[in-house]
Chain A
Amino acid sequence: MAKQRPSLLLLLSLISLLLSPPPAFSFSDESPTARRILVLVDDLALRSSHSIFFDSLVSRGYQLEFKLADDPSLSLQRYGQFLYDGLVLFAPSVSRFGGSLDQSKVLEFVDAGHDLILAVDSNASDLVRGIATDSGADFDEDPEAVVIDHLSYAVSDADGDHTLIASDNLIKSNVILGDKAIEAPILFRGIGHSVNPANTLVLKALTASPSAYSANPKTKLSSPPSLTGSSISLVSVMQARNNARVLISGSLELFSNRFLRSSVQKAGSKTIYDKSGNEQFVTEAAKWVFHERGHLKAVNVKHNKVGETTEPGIYRINDDLEYSVEIYEWSGKSWEPYVADDVQVQFFMMSPYVLKTMSTNKKGLYSTSFKVPDVYGVFQFKVEYERLGYTSLSLAKQIPVRPFRHNEYERFIPAAFPYYAASFSTMGAFFIFSIVYLYHK
């Protein structure tokens, strides 16, 4: 009996290992599919009140795991491996996460290249505000303040305090918001934030109108509001240097079925839209956040001399060379050729010596050719591709460049012909003279 116990334990641990979910990785070129998302809510009723948004994620193949934000079993990683690829944080009022999760763990999760959608409302806790601040979005510090706009509010029969905002001031980026323009305004009710000017990675995706301000609608305004006009960001997006993507919304209702289904009429405009732009906005933005769009990969970086196919280990100055790279974009299902006309390659040593826009065959192949500069040293082929909404590509390949060898210089220079002729005529004269001198009598 005693002998059997260890083996039983082993068996049990084996079973538990098998049953535990497979570890998840951040978006990787090799396995971009099968993505697990943890949804943290502070009320499970959100699951039904925001179901259209969640269903759109599920229908695109995501596995959502709903948990209460104070669930004591919360954990993002186990044995050093992350259990999820993305986090949807719809728990604005949570003041402390359950389990081992805390602000630094969320940050660590993003630092590991994972994606985050964060939505808050007027009950935003310090914890949630802190996470937003880490991503470069500073929410209004006044806990009672909401965004008010007396000029571009959504006309509604039931809502008179102008906190329901209809905004159509969207970031101009097809990759973030999809190719189809969002025509209807987007309904927003919540708190505003400003983007940290020191953070160049965070961008305003939905901006308030110039007449907006952030204040408590119930009390008199005694001092100027801290956030006003177009400096208020309603929804911001951030793409970190490791390509982790974060979306921060000051309104949780923006994602709700009620707003997604609501009709909208902007104040001062006669047009009534049957449906707000929210559904399109949240669906497209979520596609971007979870890397269904705008994720690029570069493969098959090649370079060779013109007329050859093999890649040399070294170039000589003034060689003509060809450089090519294939770039693909992840479409959510497969890698599609990426088509653009602004991919540039640099021939770089301390600073770019050559910077050239590559031509494309529209099938993902970008190529160009140029002459190696007449400076020798260790150069790099560099492709630094940063475009709004796309993941940044940074390719570098080192290649030395040597000067001419002694026998590679020009040999028969016409300007030197008089010197050659002089030498050879002297030599000829010497030959004749030696004969004449010895045998003349």
Chain B
Amino acid sequence: MAKPLVLHLLLLLICGSALLSSGSVIHPISDAHRSAATEFFVPAADGSFGSLEETYEALRTFQILGLDRSSAKFEGTCKTVSEKLSSPTTTKDLYHALKITAILGCRTESIEFDGITSRLQTAVKDASSLLELYYSLGGLLTVKEQGKDVILSDADGTFQAIKALSQSDGRWRYDKDSTGSSAFAAGIALEALASVVSLAGSDIDQSKIAVVRKDITKLFDRIKHYDDGTLYFDEKNVDPDQYKGPLATSASITSGVTAFAAVSSEKLNIGGEKILGLAKFFLSIGIPGTAKDFFYQINSLASLENNRISIPLVLSLPATVLSLTAKDQLKVEVTTVFGSHAPSLAVSLLKVLTPDSKEVTSFEKKELEYDPENRIHFLDLSPLKIDVGKYSLIFKVSVNDPEGADLYATGDQIIVTAFLTGFIKVDKAEIAVSDSDAASESVQKLDLSKESLISLSANHLQKLRLSLQLTTPLGHSFKPHQMVVKFRHESKVEHLFVPETSSRQYKLVLNFLGLVEKFYYLSGRYEIELAVGDAVMENSILRSIGSIELDLPEAPEKAAKPPAQPVDPLSRFGPKEEISHIFRAPEKRPPQGLSLGFMGLTILPLLAFLIGLLRIGVNFKGFPTSAAPATFAILFHGGIGAVLLLYVLFWLKLDLFTTLKALGFLGVFLLFVGHRTLSYLASTSAKQKTA
């Protein structure tokens, strides 16, 4: 269990420091916090913020930040709270209800304070855990603060009961049975002890208080620190369920210690820098993410604002990016954590360090002038002759009033990182193409302030030279962080070059003979782009300076191919082109008239046959006259007719199978009747011949 926790703490430290290093300038609580408060604490329709505890936290935050908590808005809250007070409830709810009543200034005529006091007194007596004691004592104190007469019956005993839970390392246990101790509990215990002292009057033995003061010193030995002097408390080796996080723990201890300092007759010997470190911790969080954290932050800052140990004064810079061009002044504000102004004091700039911790020698200690109207200390930068760059400024704040010096914690030296930015002059920008023997050179001047593009051409035996000079406002040569020349071929293959610096000048010489392979033997137009940029350069440049037409030799077979340029991944989206099927064209047919004409022609022979028959004078004298042969003859010809009709039907609608079936029957029938008819005809003709 211990291992992951330690790891976790380590990670927390890393993360935390990363968070802080960027914003080493801390700012006092401002309007951003006020608007954040109204976002975090949104009252429900009845004016409450959820539970009594949440309501208390919201209203307390509003009170500290001076936000509107007029009783009209929260009249409903007053009513529910006073109902809560008159009904039996837990000491925790009682405590919060009393606090809310005090904050809102609700009318208290209807509240039975005596009953509440006696209930709380019993609770103090019966309490077994630290939280129970904390809430009941806090409740009693609130009642007392409302002007009621409350005396704790057994102050010494109660004090002893709380003290009994303390551990040798300055931390506290939550109750007698628990084995683990916690720094969060220590804060609660100290606040409870402070309540005991103020409720008891002067009954408490001073030696006991001295013991607690020793405990506090031990507790502060546990404080953790970041490199920039920020201090905080964190829990170690506690049950993950009870783990509160650095903010809650620090907040609890801050409230406890300041409350105890307020009732202790002697000054607590903690040291102003620790109080300042804690204040820095709370302020460095900025705006926390949850309402609870927000309350912790504001409440503990409020207890630091007017504490009896020492009042932290924070030095903040409205701006750490200062422009030399705009003649920005170095402005410094020294305020309390809530931004109210500090007593008369002097701010001096001790040293100016470059990033590699070298002192800027030309600078001597300077005291900042004070502008009483805006309550700002300021310093003109231009007479100091400090060049552009990133500097660490080391300030010292000293309170003018020698008596007040003890009262306030200002910190020893305050280090602030600042950027002085300026306009960098670009000079002597030239681009030239020369033969390898440098015999002939065609130099073209570049004017980077104008939108002019140059066009050059070169082959692989030539060289390209690009040079420019950068100077700071004070005339020193300037080395920007970003100084890149980019060659972009038509096929989007890019090559980057970093010019070299030599004697105040930046110079890039490209010998194309050595670069053909790198350029993948790609001839054609190359766009040249120049990027000059730096954090302190106000006129960072990114612009195309023209193009060069390169004539490179043909690529040998084994040369590396240029890398594939990524295809636009968006191209696979979007509708595709529609496809419609092309159908086979139907066969060409003759016009219908022609077909019909030919049909007429094919019928003509039949007509001619019929006419021929008529002309011959057809007769049917051979038709049998007797009944039976005549019937057979009719049936025979009817059969032939039926077969022919079957053919017509076959054409019109029948299929082959039906037709063949029918034809089968008809065929047998025709065979029979045909045989009878034909044999009769044969016999009659034989008779005639013989006759």
A residues near B (Cβ < 8 Å) are: 42-52, 68, 70-72, 93, 98, 121-123, 148-151, 156-162, 189, 195, 197, 200-203, 210-211, 213, 215, 217-218, 220-225, 228-229, 257-258, 261, 318, 342, 344, 346-347, 352-357, 370-371, 373-375, 386-388, 407, 413-436, 438-441
Given contacts A210-B542, A211-B531, contact A224 B289 (CB under 8 A): no
B421 at the interface (CB under 8 A from A): yes
Which candidate, B341-349, B519-527, B592-600, is the interface stretch facing chain A?
Answer: B592-600
Are the C-beta atoms of A45 and B419 separated by less than 8 Å? no
Contact with A along B375-406 (1 / 0, CB 8 A): 00000000000000010000000000000000
Are the C-beta atoms of A427 and B14 separated by less than 8 Å? no
Bound-complex Cα distance A221 to B619 (A): 126
Are the C-beta atoms of B648 and A352 separated by less than 8 Å? no
B residues near A (Cβ < 8 Å) are: 4, 7-8, 11-12, 14-16, 18-19, 22-23, 25, 32, 36, 245-247, 286-290, 293, 317-321, 355, 390, 417-419, 421, 479, 481-484, 486, 496-498, 531, 533-537, 540, 542, 564-567, 569-570, 572-581, 583-584, 589-590, 592, 595-596, 598-603, 605-606, 609-610, 613, 618-623, 633, 637, 640-641, 644, 647-648, 651, 655, 677, 681
Which one of B286, B290, B542, B644 lies within 8 Å of A211 (CB-CB)?
A: B542
Chain B residues touching A, majority SS: mixed
When C-beta atoms are compared, the residue in chain B nearest to A389 turns out to be B573
Residues of A contacting B620 with CB < 8 Å? 435, 439-440
Q: 10 shortest A-B CB distances, which residue pairs?
A: A150-B533, A160-B419, A51-B289, A224-B496, A197-B566, A150-B540, A157-B319, A441-B621, A48-B289, A373-B581
Which one of A51, A156, A441 lies within 8 Å of B321 (CB-CB)?
A: A156
Which one of A52, A151, A318, A434 lies within 8 Å of B640 (CB-CB)?
A: A434
Bound-complex Cα distance A228 to B484 (A): 10
Chain B CB count within 10 A is highest, among A47, A52, A160, A375, for A160
Given contacts A159-B321, A421-B602, A439-B621, contact A415 B590 (CB under 8 A): yes
Are the C-beta atoms of A211 and B569 separated by less than 8 Å? no
Are the C-beta atoms of A121 and B18 separated by less than 8 Å? yes
Residues of A contacting B618 with CB < 8 Å? 436, 440
Can you identify 25 A-B contacts, CB atoms within 8 angstroms? A47-B289, A150-B537, A157-B317, A157-B320, A160-B418, A215-B482, A217-B535, A221-B483, A344-B575, A354-B580, A355-B578, A355-B580, A356-B579, A371-B581, A407-B655, A415-B595, A417-B596, A418-B602, A430-B640, A431-B641, A432-B610, A439-B623, A439-B633, A441-B619, A441-B622
Are the C-beta atoms of A261 and B18 separated by less than 8 Å? no
Are the C-beta atoms of B7 and A70 separated by less than 8 Å? yes
Which one of A68, A229, A342 lies within 8 Å of B574 (CB-CB)?
A: A342
Residues of B contacting A413 with CB < 8 Å? 589
Bound-complex Cα distance A415 to B620 (A): 39
Bound-complex Cα distance A230 to B581 (A): 43
Given contacts A387-B573, A414-B592, contact A420 B651 (CB under 8 A): yes
Residues of B contacting A257 with CB < 8 Å? 287-289
Given contacts A371-B581, A439-B621, A441-B621, contact A93 B14 (CB under 8 A): yes
Bound-complex Cα distance A375 to B15 (A): 68
Residues of A contacting B355 with CB < 8 Å? 218
Are the C-beta atoms of A203 and B486 separated by less than 8 Å? no
Given contacts A225-B496, A421-B603, contact A354 B4 (CB under 8 A): no
Are the C-beta atoms of B289 and A427 separated by less than 8 Å? no
Distance of A102 from chain B, by nearest CB (Å): 17
Are the C-beta atoms of B606 and A429 separated by less than 8 Å? yes
Given contacts A257-B287, A427-B647, A438-B622, contact A353 B581 (CB under 8 A): yes
Distance of B320 from chain A, by nearest CB (Å): 5
Given contacts A121-B18, A160-B418, A413-B589, contact A50 B570 (CB under 8 A): no
Are the C-beta atoms of B640 and A355 separated by less than 8 Å? no
Residues of B contacting A370 with CB < 8 Å? 580
Bound-complex Cα distance A103 to B621 (A): 113
Residues of B contacting A93 with CB < 8 Å? 11, 14-15
Chain B CB count within 10 A is highest, among A342, A354, A422, for A422
Are the C-beta atoms of A161 and B8 separated by less than 8 Å? no
Bound-complex Cα distance A414 to B573 (A): 52
Are the C-beta atoms of A224 and B573 separated by less than 8 Å? no
Residues of A contacting B537 with CB < 8 Å? 150
Residues of B contacting A440 with CB < 8 Å? 618-622
Bound-complex Cα distance A371 to B595 (A): 31
Are the C-beta atoms of B535 and A228 separated by less than 8 Å? no
Bound-complex Cα distance A122 to B21 (A): 13
Which one of B245, B610, B644 lies within 8 Å of A427 (CB-CB)?
A: B644
Bound-complex Cα distance A46 to B16 (A): 10
Given contacts A150-B537, A157-B321, A344-B576, contact A197 B18 (CB under 8 A): no
Residues of B contacting A418 with CB < 8 Å? 595, 598-599, 601-602
Bound-complex Cα distance A40 to B640 (A): 99
Given contacts A213-B484, A415-B595, contact A388 B289 (CB under 8 A): no
Residues of B contacting A47 with CB < 8 Å? 289
Chain B CB count within 10 A is highest, among A52, A201, A425, A434, for A425
Bound-complex Cα distance A440 to B540 (A): 124
Are the C-beta atoms of B583 and A374 separated by less than 8 Å? yes
Residues of A contacting B319 with CB < 8 Å? 157-158
Bound-complex Cα distance A420 to B598 (A): 11
Are the C-beta atoms of B574 and A374 separated by less than 8 Å? no
When C-beta atoms are compared, the residue in chain B nearest to A219 turns out to be B481
Distance of B244 from chain A, by nearest CB (Å): 11
Are the C-beta atoms of B481 and A45 separated by less than 8 Å? no
Distance of A232 from chain B, by nearest CB (Å): 13
Given contacts A72-B4, A157-B318, A434-B640, contact A151 B533 (CB under 8 A): yes
Distance of A210 from chain B, by nearest CB (Å): 6
Are the C-beta atoms of A387 and B574 separated by less than 8 Å? yes
Are the C-beta atoms of B581 and A429 separated by less than 8 Å? no
Are the C-beta atoms of B12 and A43 separated by less than 8 Å? yes
Chain B CB count within 10 A is highest, among A49, A156, A426, A436, for A49
